[in-house]
Structures are given as C-alpha cells and as structure tokens.
Amino acid sequence: MPDALAPHSRRAVWLAAAIVAASGALFITNIVRDQETKAAVAVALTGGDPTRAPALFRRYGCSGCHTIPGIPGADGQTGAPLTGISKHVYIAGVLENRSDNLVAWIVSPQSFSPQTAMPNTGISEQEAKDLAAYLYAN
C-alpha cells in the first residue's frame, strides 16, 4: 500500500514546491513593477532623470549631510534623512511637498528658510529635477 501512495506524495511535494516558487516569483515581479511605476511617476512629476542623481549627490556633497537611500556612503547626520520623501507632507518643514517646491528648495533653500543649514550649492534647475526624481522614486 505505501508504494501505491508514493508517486502521489512525490507529486504533491513537487506541486507544493512549484506553488511556493511561483509565489516567490510573483512577489519579486510585483516589487520590481512597483519600483518601475514609482520611477515613471517620479519622472513625470519632476521632468528629471533619476539615473543621473547618484553622481549629482556626490558632486554637490549632499551625502556629507544627508542619509540617502541607495547611495553608498550617503550616511550624513547633519541634514534630515532623505528617505521616503514622497510620503512627507512638507519639505524641510516649510514648503508643501510638491515637485516644483522640492526643485526650488534644492536650488535655493535659503530663499525659503534663511536660517537653514543647507547651503546654496549652485546646482542647476535640471540637476535639481534629477535629484527630485530620484528622491520621489525611492
């Protein structure tokens, strides 16, 4: 009798393994799709290119003051962490969180908050759009 059930048991194990593997693949696919969707929305909102942002964060020294997701070595503690920016209500506590405000803040923070520790870096508006796209996508 046990020999008669063995093929069915093996099939059940293989079926269970296949279901678990497929579920894992679906989960990973949804994560990738969600990240791609967030990136596409961020590009549409800002007009920026998030792929240019890592080099810009380094060039302008942003990583010295801020913790920035996905940027190696960006673990600064002076400025606020730049994680989950898309979920924030305000930018730096003074501007409504909109893409145009984020770009304007990055270009000229002291024009909005003269007491801010964030310096005017000389970053261009297009570069600020690239940074904003990256921050909204992450």
| Mean pLDDT in residue range 80-93 | 93
pLDDT(24) > 70: no
Task: Pick left, alpha or beta for residue 41 (phi over 0 → left; psi -120 to 50 → alpha; otherwise beta).
Answer: alpha
Domains of the chain: 2-137 (1.10.760.10)
Burial class (CB in 10 A: 0-12, 13-18, 19+), 64: middle
The pTM of the full predicted model, rounded to 2 decimals, is 0.75
What does pLDDT average to over the chain? Answer: 85
pLDDT at 123: 97
Compute the average pLDDT of residues 7-29: 59
Res 110 pLDDT > 50: yes
Instruction: Give me the pLDDT at residue 4, please.
Output: 54
